[in-house]
Structure 1
Amino acid sequence: MTRREAREQAFQILFEQAVTGAKIDDILHDASEARDFIPNSFAEEVAFGVEENSQQIDSVISQHIRGWSLHRLSKVALALLRLAVYEMLFDDSIPTSVSINEAVELAKMYGGKEDAPYINGVLATVDKVLNGEKNHA
């Protein structure tokens, strides 16, 4: 499985969590029983990482969605922003440009026509802020 496919799996898990509010453990258990879903280790690591760091991730997202709240975002956009911000904050092995590009590409596949440009804009702003913090550290 490619990293892109694993990231898509992670998105699907996070999307289900955004819709249902269920715990990642429960989603994975139910998915494996109902549809023989076996997550890639990267997908699982990301999903659990987002869940474990959800307050920090949602705080970063909230600071950059001017005029919006997390509850107003589409579930696709919310899941993709959480995925990308997790990677940007916690996985130094993935270039930020890759995290942003992959989130935008998944938004084109799964979201509405407004999701991809919106996600791109939010993540570009997050990137600028994070890089500014890293350069001043």
Structure 2
Amino acid sequence: MTQHEMRRIAMQAIYLANQGNLTDAEEVCQKALKALELKSFPDYSAEIVNGVLANKKELDGQLSKYLKKGWRLNRINEIDLAILEVALYEMQ
């Protein structure tokens, strides 16, 4: 499995977490494993999910600084937010 594919799995897992307001990384990984019909959850994907969920408040705070005036994160599409969170986590 390529790093790109593992990153995509992590992004989809974060999307599921954002939809259900889930904060437990293990629960998110198990839910994604089932939803994506995977045999196993890649280690790199789990590392990203753990990192994003552990640092969610900080990541969202940083993302909020760049929103248009009057906008809040809850106005951003959940898939877009998942992409931004994963990208920012990996950049840091």
TM-score range, shorter chain: 0.7 to 0.9
Task: State the 1:27 CA deviation.
Answer: 2.1
Deviations 1:10-42 (A, max 9, x none): 101000001111222112223445634522111
| 2: CA distance, partners of 1:33 / 1:78 | 22
Against the structure 1 CA distance between its residues 57 and 37, is the aligned structure 2 distance closer, same or farther, given a 3 Å change threshold? Answer: farther
| 8 A contact 1:13–1:24 mirrored in 2 | no
| 1: CA distance, partners of 2:34 / 2:87 | 28
Equivalent position to 1:85, from 64, 85, 88: 88
Q: Could you list the runs of 5+ residues in structure 1 that have no partner in the other structure?
A: 90-137
Aligned position for 1:122: none
- Please report the TM-score for the alignment, with normalisation by the length of structure 2: 0.86
Q: Could you list the runs of 5+ residues in structure 2 that have no partner in the other structure?
A: none
| 1: CA distance, partners of 2:7 / 2:21 | 20
Aligned position for 1:62: 64
Moved more, 23-32 or 11-20: 23-32
| 1: CA distance, partners of 2:33 / 2:87 | 25
Q: Kindly indicate which of the two structures has a greater share of residues assigned to helix.
A: 1
- Please report the TM-score for the alignment, with normalisation by the length of structure 1: 0.59
Identity across the alignment (%): 27
Aligned position for 1:11: 11
Deviations 1:38-61 (A, max 9, x none): 221111100100011111101110
Deviations 1:53-72 (A, max 9, x none): 11110111000112321100
- Rg larger in 1 or in 2? 1
Task: Give the total of aligned pairs.
Answer: 89
Aligned position for 1:25: 26
What's the C-alpha RMSD, in Å, of the aligned pairs? Answer: 1.6
Query: For residues 40-55 of structure 1, what are the structure 2 equivalents within 5 Å?
Result: 40-55=42-57
